[in-house]
Amino acid sequence: MARRSILLGVAFLIAALGTTLVVLYVQGIDARAREGQEMVEVLVASDVIKPGESVADAQGAGKLDKQEVVREALAEGALATTSSIRGQVALGTIYPGQQIIAQQFGEAGGEETLTIPDNKLAVSVELTDPARVAGFVTPGSHVAIFVSADPELYKPDGTTQKLSPFTGLLLPDVQVIGVGTTSVAARTTKDEDGETTEQVPRTILTVAVNQSEAQRLIYAARNGDVSFALRNEKSKVADGPGVTAADVMPAAFPGVLR
């Protein structure tokens, strides 16, 4: 009888332990599901802050608001208070909706100057709104850069061979150090119905790169179309052969192997 009681007690303890482990496992799943969805407070520009405008003046004019965003959408270096930039001025134009980061401010007299990281070069490219993630790219952002091109192979005999148009990764992780003003340029396209001209907003963005990256980026911008993809510390980017029409629409290209 005593032995039976002991066995029942052991079984009860095992069942209780199993239940506890299941509860802990479920709680772990819930925690991982909520990871990155936590709401955090951040300072955001509610109106245009001009170069040279002080933090105090911007606050006095109601140009700084606090907003809650999910942690995954928090810009690197984003500020929740102005304590670390008190007494400083805007180094460049800050547009409504931009999260406030320390790199956007500095000592008076440094307006519209660039802070270039050590051993890096500053290179600027002009992008349309979609190619710069609809304006969400700001100074301090990290981006992956892609290029779309219609390449030609130049042969030793002087002839050329057209290769398949493709889109591929150019640079996996580049820091944006400046965002210029937006201008409007006319773009004309041709189709079977004739020519169509539309007004396209374009913005100059400046990034910090090494010499090899600068050469690749300048070449890509002059010979193809460059697009930025905003990334965070959890973004995963891998180099590869890129994609062609055969990858995007395989049914239209039967028998084509990549």
Q: Long-range pairs for 28-33 at CB < 8 Å and ≥24 separation?
A: none
Percent of the chain beyond pLDDT 90?
A: 32
Q: What six digits make up the tokens of 191? A: 């189709």
d(CA 227, CA 130): 8
pLDDT number for residue 229:
95
d(CA 61, CA 47): 9
Residues in CB range of 191: below 8 A, 6 or more apart: none
pLDDT number for residue 33:
46
Task: Tell which wins on pLDDT, 223 or 188.
Answer: 223
Residue from 99, 44, 63, 35 nearest 234 by CA:
35
Q: What is the DSSP letter of 157?
A: T
| Each residue's pLDDT tens digit, 132-177 | 887 788 888 899 999 999 888 888 888 888 888 889 999 999 999 8
Residue type, 154: Y
Judging by beta carbons within 10 Å of its beta carbon (0-12, 13-18, 19+), is residue 104 exposed, middle or buried?
buried
pLDDT number for residue 162:
84
Residue 120: phi, psi to the nearest 5?
-120, 165
| Each residue's pLDDT tens digit, 42-90 | 999 999 998 888 999 999 999 999 999 888 888 888 899 999 998 888 8
Task: Tell which wins on pLDDT, 8 or 233.
Answer: 233
Angle value at C-alpha 242, between 188 and 221, nearest 5 degrees: 40
Which of the listed ranges 4-18, 33-47, 134-148, 177-191 does the model predict with the highest average pLDDT? 134-148
Mean pLDDT calculated for residue range 30-39: 60
CATH of 39-106, one of 3.40.50.720, 3.30.2350.10, 3.90.1210.10, 3.30.750.200: 3.90.1210.10
Domain coordinates in residue numbering, the chain: 39-106, 121-246
| Each residue's pLDDT tens digit, 106-136 | 877 655 566 788 899 999 998 888 888 877 8
**Mean pLDDT for all residues in the chain:** 80
Q: What six digits make up the tokens of 75? A: 């810009």
Residue from 226, 223, 222 nearest 174 by CA:
226
